[in-house]
Structure 1
Amino acid sequence: MNGHAFSLAGAELCALPSGALWWAARRLLCVADLHLGKAERHARRGGAALPPYETEETLARLDADLAATGAETVVCLGDSFDDDAAARALPEAARTAVARLQVGRRWIWVAGNHDPGPTDLGGTHLAEAAIGPLTFRHIAAPGATAEISGHYHPKARLRTAAGRVARKAFLIDGDRAILPAYGTYTGGLCCEDPALTALMRPEAIAVLTGRRALAVPMHPRRTARA
C-alpha cells in the first residue's frame, strides 16, 4: 500500500497520499471532512464562487480509494456535509453515487459540527465510534489516547524548487492521528497553529498528502525538501 505506515494503540495503520486512513486488519477506510455541497452553500450564502463539481470530485476520489483497498467498513469522521441545507440539496446523482459506494459495506457517519442529524443517505449515524482499540470522533479531545479525529483540516508547509507550498497533512503522535480534510476545496489550518501544537506531542510528525505520502517533523518553522 502506497502510504505512510504507523502504529497506534497496537493498530497498524496507513496514511494514504489521498488523505484517507487505511486499517488493513479491519478492512476499514476512514476519511474526514468531506464537506459535500460546499459549492452549493457558498453560492446560497453569496460567498466566493467555487467550481460546481467539488462533490462529484470528492466522491470520485473516495470511490478510487475504496476500489484500491477493498474496504469493507467506511468511517466518515464528521463534517461530511457543509451544512444541513447542503445535505438536503445534494443532487440526485450524488445521492446515487453515495448509495452505490455503500453497497456491501458497513458505513458509519460520525457527527461533526457542520453535520445535519440523520439523513436518508443510509449508513449508521453515531456521535463517535469505538472500534477495537481506537476511538473515532470528529474533534480531538484533549488528553485522549488511541484517538482518530478530523475537524482542523491540518496542513503543513513544504519547500520545493518553486518555493514553499502548503499541503494537506495527517498529524500523528503516540496518542492520536488527526486526519486532513478529504473534501475538495476545503481550507486548512497550519500545523504550527497553537490549536494543533497544544494537542500533539513534541515528537509528532506531519504526513503530507499528494503524489506520495511524505512524513516530516511537526515542528514550528521547520520545513522539508521535496
Structure 2
Amino acid sequence: MHHAFTLAGEMLHALPSGALFWPAQSLLCVSDLHFGKSERLARRGGSLLPPYETRATLEKLEADIDRTSPARVICLGDSFDDLAAADGLEEAARLRLARLMAGRDWTWIEGNHDAGPVEIGGTHRATVTLRPLTFRHIADPSQSAEISGHYHPKARLKGTARPCFLLDAQRLILPAYGTYTGGLPTHDSALQSLMQKGALAILTGPRALPIPF
C-alpha cells in the first residue's frame, strides 16, 4: 500500500505509516519521532497527556522494521522532544529501542529539539549524504536532492487533515512519525515557499495516497 516514486533518479517508497524506504540502500527513514513529549509537557507545567506516545511510536517503528528489514535506519531529527526526554526514557522503551537498533547502521540526525548527541547508541550527524541524496532535519532551499522533516506537513482530503509527505523534483519532506505530533497545513507560507509547482502531497493512512499539493 506504499506509493513508489523517484527522486534524483532513485526509486523510493512512501509508506502509509509516514516512513520512507529506499530499497536500493536497504534504508528506512523516519522523522520527528518526538519521544517523551508527554513527559516534557508535564515537566514544564504544560498539558497532561497519557504517557503512552513513546510506546505507540515504537510499536509503529517496529512494525515498519519488521516489514522492510532495513540494514540502515536514519532518524531525521527531533527524535526526542528535548535532551532531557532522551535521558528520561523509560527502561522498557530503552530496551525495546536497543533491540530495534541492534545489528543496524543507525543514524540520529540532529534536530532543533534535540541538537547534540544522545547517550543511546548509534551515530549522530548534522546531515548524511548517500549519493545522490542528502538527509537533513530542515529543508535548505538552496539545495536539491534532499530529504528532510521538521515541518510536520498535513493535507486535507474530504475535510479530514492527514499527515503527508511533500514531494517535488528537488526535495521530499517527511511527515512527523511520532504520536502526539501536530501538523502544519500545506497552505502555510513556509511550505508554499519551499515546494515547486506541480508538487505532490502523499497522504498517510490506510494507504499512501498522492494528491496535488
Q: TM-score, normalised by structure 1?
A: 0.93
Deviation of 1:116 after TM superposition, in Å, equals 4.4
Q: What is the rounded CA distance, in whole Å, between the counterparts of 1:132 and 1:26 in structure 2?
A: 11
Q: 163, 168, 185: which one pairs with 1:168?
A: 163
Q: TM-score, normalised by structure 2?
A: 0.98
Deviation of 1:94 after TM superposition, in Å, equals 1.1
Read off the aligned partner of 2:30 and give its amino acid letter: V
Deviation of 1:91 after TM superposition, in Å, equals 0.7
The superposition leaves residues 94-137 of structure 1 with CA deviations (integer Å, 9 ceiling, x where unpaired) of 11111100111000000000014212211000000001210000
Residue correspondence of structure 1 range 5-16 to structure 2 within 5 A: 5-16=4-15
Q: Name the residue aligned to 1:221.
A: none
Structure 1 segments unaligned to the other structure (5+ residues): 219-226
1:92 aligns with 2:87: no
Q: 177, 181, 202: which one pairs with 1:182?
A: 177
1:121 aligns with 2:120: yes
Q: Name the residue aligned to 1:66.
A: 65
Q: Name the residue aligned to 1:36.
A: 35
Counterpart contact for 1:9–1:146, Cα < 8 Å: yes
Residue correspondence of structure 1 range 146-225 to structure 2 within 5 A: 146-159=145-158, 164-218=159-213
* Structure 1 consecutive aligned stretches of length 4 or more whose deviation exceeds 3 Å: none
Identity of aligned residues (%): 62
Q: Name the residue aligned to 1:109.
A: 108
Counterpart contact for 2:137–2:149, Cα < 8 Å: yes
Counterpart contact for 2:83–2:118, Cα < 8 Å: no
Deviation of 1:143 after TM superposition, in Å, equals 2.4
Q: Count the aligned residue pairs.
A: 213
Deviation of 1:47 after TM superposition, in Å, equals 1.2
Read off the aligned partner of 1:203 and give its amino acid letter: G
Q: Classify the secondary structure of the residue corresponding to 1:135.
A: strand
Q: What is the RMSD computed on CA atoms of the aligned residues?
A: 0.7
Q: Name the residue aligned to 1:222.
A: none
